[in-house]
Amino acid sequence: GIWLALGMLCALIAAARLGARDGIPKDRIYDLGLWTLVSALVGSKLLMFLVEPGVQIFTLDFLRSGGVFYGGLIGGFIAVVFLVRFYKLNFWKVADAFAPGVALGQAFGRQGCFAAGCCWGKETDSFLGVHFTETGHEYTGVPIMTADNHPAYLFPTQLIESFTMLLVFGILVYLHRHKKFNGQILITYGIIYSIFRFLIEFIRDDPRGDLFGLTTMTGLSTSQLASLVVAAGSIIFLIVRLRRLPGPEPAVEAN
């Protein structure tokens, strides 16, 4: 909870600073951020309920869980779409301000996942392997022993995502200073994260449910399927935005 709260705070501060570059008032960013956060939390819990039909929603564990990230991303995106119309703001500028903050929030949030012991990876014999505590096992079910009763060492997928998203945050902040068109930062985030998430899912081993039986049919996790949709949508947005860029000015012939 502490890591998540810290991530949200840092994400809002980053969004406010980046939004100021595009002329978006900071108070508007904070308003958008708070409502978007509420929508993201609802979305993450809703998708968690859909992919895990047996989950008990009226329990403390359900309220304390982080939910499903892609559900939060979709919920937050929907909130931004409606709120920018209400506040009469440029959607692409707002999205560009928030995208780096989302990556930063993920970096902090995944540290919380590691501390709690959720979202774990598959067993590994490599130097990357980490062993979780009995407390983590009791709280999240993270394996601490192998099938042959030896200490289990797992891929630290939480830390891999955390450090990757911190790097992505730096890249997006740099691009924001040099962007060629509004929407470039959001699209870049969508492409990078969807590719990364699709790949890291291959070494994740925590139970993540089966949305409408799609995982059973395709062999891909819910997050991998969502990554394909996000990647396709980001590429479509990129094509549309590039086509709307003004062409080079015609050369003026000297008399």
H-helix segments, 52-183: 60-64, 69-87, 91-116, 134-140, 157-178
Q: Which residues contact 8 (CB under 8 A, 6 or more apart)?
A: 37, 105
Q: What is the DSSP letter of 152?
A: -
The confidence score (pLDDT) of residue 60 equals 46
Q: Is the pLDDT of residue 52 over 80?
A: no
- pLDDT bracket for residue 49 (50, 70, 90): low
DSSP string, 157-215: HHHHHHHHHHHHHHHHHHHHHH-SSTTHHHHHHHHHHHHHHHHHGGGB-S----GGGHH
Q: Is the pLDDT of residue 252 over 80?
A: no
- pLDDT bracket for residue 54 (50, 70, 90): low
In the predicted model, what is the mean pLDDT of the chain? 85
The confidence score (pLDDT) of residue 246 equals 73
Q: What is the pLDDT of residues 99-118, one digit of tens each?
A: 999 999 999 989 988 988 88
- pLDDT bracket for residue 250 (50, 70, 90): low
Between 234 and 80, the more confident residue is 234
Give which of 201, 203, 190, 182 is closest to 229, Cα–Cα: 190
Share of the chain above pLDDT 70, in %: 86
Q: Is the pLDDT of residue 242 over 70?
A: yes
Between 214 and 55, the more confident residue is 214
Look up the pTM and report it: 0.84
Q: Is the pLDDT of residue 62 over 50?
A: no
The confidence score (pLDDT) of residue 63 equals 46
The confidence score (pLDDT) of residue 58 equals 46
130 strand-pairing partners: 154
Between 189 and 42, the more confident residue is 189
Between 59 and 82, the more confident residue is 82
Share of the chain above pLDDT 90, in %: 47
The confidence score (pLDDT) of residue 251 equals 52
